[in-house]
Structure 1
């Protein structure tokens, strides 16, 4: 009986041993590191034996590992974004724009694409500029997000930083609204391809040939050689003489006694003969048209002659037309307009 009772007591002792708490960590380590917290604190404490260094090192190692992971992910995403942007920009420069960017294609006419090295180079430069801008924006957004995440991992309170950044952004926005306006206008100008380097444009206050295009300022050289710096935000309208086609227009004055039928035939024949040979013939995109009487005044009549030309070549063709028609009228004996009479007072 006594042996049976002792056996029962021994079995109870064996069963309750599993309920006892695990052996505690060393006393010094328990003061600084929470048990089973999954951090590096116990490891650092066993290596150094310094409590404060164990606490600080645990947070530092955990934050460093997470920072490395965040930066690695950010770098991979940035590389992927840059490669995708470069591929799209290369396709746009070669005339293979994706369906999403087809509304932003260049404004040049299809008859001119591929036949002019100037237009091909302009398209390539535009694609390179837009690609560079998109890569800069992607890098700023990706690295900015990674920076905020890294600060959060080190326990930095982001609320005051975000609030301060918002207030600073509003202040900068009010103070630099003209600069922001210029940059936004430049971005939309390049995306919409309103004009490019080499185009002859009219900005209103300044007109001439575009020499450089930037996100903030565009430069135009006028016919007298003056270089104008025009802020993109101040451009309210753009007249582009270099897109699709141009029209050479000549108004030829004749006297009231002229035979209009003969004058029309002479003007048409002279214009066709003047533009029949290269290099002027290479600049034409249509046939010469004599539209007839454009205006009537006290001195005489005005006949209008037009022809469609390649973009930017209308001035050369117009000068040749004016010279040829004026010479033909003189040879055919078509009277010029009468000189206005001058009355001298007594």
Structure 2
């Protein structure tokens, strides 16, 4: 009797299974699910391909631009971003596909939420540093070799890291600054700069002669120095006192070359004025 019951139960299972397989309604459901899965998968692959191609294009543009940091770092970061995009898209694709098969995603999403909170509270500053580092590199805010100022720190960029940036000050100190703290930057190396020089002579000096000598000397320095990009301009008298007269000169020069240009002009002007019997007193 028990054997007959088992055989009967098995036959019923086979009939129900067969009925389920050949049922048009079930075929419609499974076909719909299959189409949705294919659409989700294709959409995920498309998003991944487009975003990775965009990242690759950005990397190529960075390589074409006159950047001074190691191009290997750019390629590494490009691959890193591409991998992050791929993993993120794949995660959501898997979640969406599982949802089509009726899986309860609440525990998975809850776990992801807990993990996200843990990262948010435990590594908030780290995440901020990394994200800021990406933007610094891809927006060309500054590059290795540039002279910048951020906050109270000014110096030459020694290294642009994902988490920190290293600046070398004029006196040799190395400032290590978390990227997340770099909120405002002044870059002295991206455009031509302007050297401003005041030339002071005694009050009783022949001013026209002094200005002519100053103009000729500045023009000569311009022709012999590759630091000055345009002929210096003599603006005229800047200040007058009971004892002296100050003339002002401006010279457009290469980025961050003002100190060297000012020293060069000072030396040549002092020499020229003395050769003509005049004295530069400031």
Length-normalised TM-score, structure 1: 0.62
SS at 1:320's partner residue?
helix
SS at 1:285's partner residue?
coil
SS at 1:37's partner residue?
helix
Once the two structures are superposed, what CA deviation does each residue of 1:144-167 show, in whole Å capped at 9, x if it has no partner?
A: 224434655786532133134224
Aligned to 2:20: 37
Aligned to 1:320: 264
1:323: how far off? Answer: 0.9
The answer to whether the 8 A contact 1:221-1:228 is kept is yes
Q: For 2:97 and 2:80, locate their aligned partners in 1 and report how far apart those are by CA, in whole Å.
A: 26
Number of aligned residue pairs? 263
Is 1:187 the counterpart of 2:134? The answer is: yes
Moved more, 209-218 or 171-180: 171-180
Once the two structures are superposed, what CA deviation does each residue of 1:54-105 show, in whole Å capped at 9, x if it has no partner?
A: xxxxxxxxxxx9xx9899869955873476236523652465xxxxxxxxxx
SS at 2:191's partner residue?
coil
Gaps of 5+ in 1: 1-24, 40-64, 96-105, 107-118, 339-346
The answer to whether the 8 A contact 1:85-1:134 is kept is no
Aligned to 2:61: 92
Is 1:264 the counterpart of 2:206? The answer is: no
The CA RMSD measured in Å over matched residues stands at: 3.8
Q: For 2:178 and 2:86, locate their aligned partners in 1 and report how far apart those are by CA, in whole Å.
A: 27
The answer to whether the 8 A contact 2:200-2:246 is kept is yes
The answer to whether the 8 A contact 1:92-1:127 is kept is no
Name the structure with the higher strand share.
Answer: 2
Gaps of 5+ in 2: 1-6, 23-33
Aligned to 1:148: 95
Is 1:291 the counterpart of 2:235? The answer is: yes
Q: For 2:228 and 2:158, locate their aligned partners in 1 and report how far apart those are by CA, in whole Å.
A: 25
**Cα 1:320–1:137 shift into 2, 3 Å:** same
- Of residues 143, 150, 161 in structure 2, which corresponds to 1:203? 150
Q: For 1:236 and 1:79, locate their aligned partners in 2 and report how far apart those are by CA, in whole Å.
A: 31
Compare CA radii of gyration and give the structure with the larger one.
1
**Cα 1:26–1:298 shift into 2, 3 Å:** farther
Q: For 2:109 and 2:242, locate their aligned partners in 1 and report how far apart those are by CA, in whole Å.
A: 75
Q: For 2:104 and 2:154, locate their aligned partners in 1 and report how far apart those are by CA, in whole Å.
A: 54
